[in-house]
Amino acid sequence: MSLTLHEDRYFGPDARQIEVARELYRAARDLPLICPHGHVDPRLFSDPDYSFGTPVDLLLIPDHYVYRMLYSQGVPLEDLGIPRLDGAPVETDHREIWQTFAERFYLFRGTPTGLWLTQELAEVFGIDERLDGDSAQRLYDQIAETLNTPEMQPRRLFERFNVEVLCTTDTATDTLEHHQAIRASGWDGDIRPTFRPDAVVNLDSPGWRESIDRLSEVSGVAITGYPAFIEALEQRRAFFKSLGATATDHAALTPYTAPLSEREAGAIFERALRGEASDDDARAFTGHMLIEMARMSTEDRLVMQLHPGSWRNHNALIFEHFGRDKGADIPITAEFTRNLRPLLDAFGNDPRLTLILFTLDETTYARELAPLAGHYPALRLGPPWWFHDSVNGMQRFFEQVMETAGLYNTAGFNDDTRAFLSIPARHDVWRRAGANWLAGMVVRHLIDEADAHEMMTDLAYGLAKRSYRL
């Protein structure tokens, strides 16, 4: 993987298309970054002495995009320093881990992870050398040294990266103490929480009962039944909103929605409190609560995000030894036309609701999502998600969604990452892929350059800002 970042990368290959793309990209390159959905830890910004640790602490151990690929090629997670739940020993020599990684960096050729890492190494760490077994220790030194400089303080990087606003993702029971600390610190970086209630809404979440107790505690509402549960959620949403939240986020195995009566919902909730909820109960309750969350959004105007379709923790052995979010989540087929109909029946025509849909099943782009978003006022489509957050994934999204949904029913980009240092590279891929898509339409005379310039600004900045009410 070359570490030379070509100024025309990801454009073309047609020469006239490259020329137009370059011009569009230049006009958008320096726009501030809007980061409306992601998983950056707010402690980066609340703790003025925050340190990223070693190069391995920064780039490998927290990034399941990276170590899943090494694992797929036979490297045990223990050898990469990923901590085991049972405390069994794992490799602790970070130089050794780095060497293992560097020798296999060729596995990332042509992958988005490869592109992001390459750009991050170049632009944040000034590295213009290929990472491989030979250069491994030299580059380790260079990264480690840079990490020790004051320029690597997260607040300074936030400014250097030109981030206008960054939203974190926080459980419904989070006290948002780090968000409060950021606000109290006097630093004016715009960091906002996002309300994610999966752990209390999905009855089959591990530790659900404890999460409910915690929800009682933080909300001050004794959750003895369904009405109190709803009240507590509304209380938490108001609290999140008071700290700047403009959105909620919801995960579900499928986008199934169906309303329950107050009585039915109450009965299921009580069974769950008694530890007696079935799988069917859990599915029905999630399907009901998604509608209930849409209802709340029409009242408090928090933008609603739905991320369905990931089969979490597919690999039982990895889950048992290492826990969740270890690169073993696998997509399944998704169905929106039937599943979302009850929610849309209730609130799809309501101008107060914005529901942003994501998918890991690209077959739904042209078949279901674009037609739905091209009709219902409440709907917007989020950018390509996770495995599809890539040069080809974006091209498929543009080509399969935009003709039917129209650009203005999409919600711009979000980086959806835990890796703060990769944020500029991720937005850069989007801006370049977007410029190239628009340039392709310009040179084929589907749109003119004036249109393309306005669309470029919206793709890079305006759509995300407006869709998330930021």
b/e string for 152-167 if b means 16 or more Cβ within 10 A? bbbbebbeebebbbbb
Is residue 417 a contact partner of residue 437, using CB atoms and an 8 Å limit?
Answer: no
SS3 4: coil
| Distance in angstroms (rounded) separating the CA atoms of residues 290 and 288 | 5
Q: What is the full DSSP assignment across 291-304?
A: HHHHHHHHHH-PEE
Closest CA to 272 of 342, 215, 320: 215
Nearer to its own copies, 104 or 271 (CB): 104
Q: Compute, in degrees rounded to 10, the torsion defined by CA atoms 467, 337, 251, 214.
A: 100
Longest dimension (CA), the chain: 66
Q: Cα–Cα distance between 408 and 178 in angstroms, integer?
A: 34
Are 361 and 334 in contact by the 8 Å Cβ rule? The answer is yes
List alpha helices for 243-330, DSSP H: 262-273, 279-300, 316-322
Stretch (H or E) spanning 357: strand 355-357
Q: For residues 46 and 400, which CB has a smaller minimum distance to its own copies in the complex? A: 400
CB of 387 to its own copies, least distance (A): 5
Q: Tokens for 149? A: 């400089």
Q: Output the smallest distance, CB 287 to its own copies, in A.
A: 18
CA dihedral 289, 294, 299, 302 (to 10 degrees): 110
Q: Report helix, strand or coil for 167.
A: strand
**Nearest approach, Cβ of residue 154 and its own copies (Å):** 29
Of residues 271 and 453, the one with the C-beta less far from its own copies: 453
Nearer to its own copies, 170 or 368 (CB): 368
Compute the least distance from the CB of residue 157 to its own copies, in Å.
25
Task: State the minimum distance, in angstroms, from the CB of residue 435 to its own copies.
Answer: 13
Q: Is 440 in contact with 17 (CB distance < 8 Å)?
A: yes
Question: Tokens 């011009």 map to which residue?
Answer: 23
User: Cβ of residue 389: shortest distance to its own copies, in angstroms?
Assistant: 10
Q: Residue 171 CB, nearest distance to its own copies (Å)?
A: 25
Nearest approach, Cβ of residue 445 and its own copies (Å):
4
Contacts of 103 (CB under 8 A, 6+ apart): 132, 133, 136
Min CB(325)–its own copies separation in Å: 13
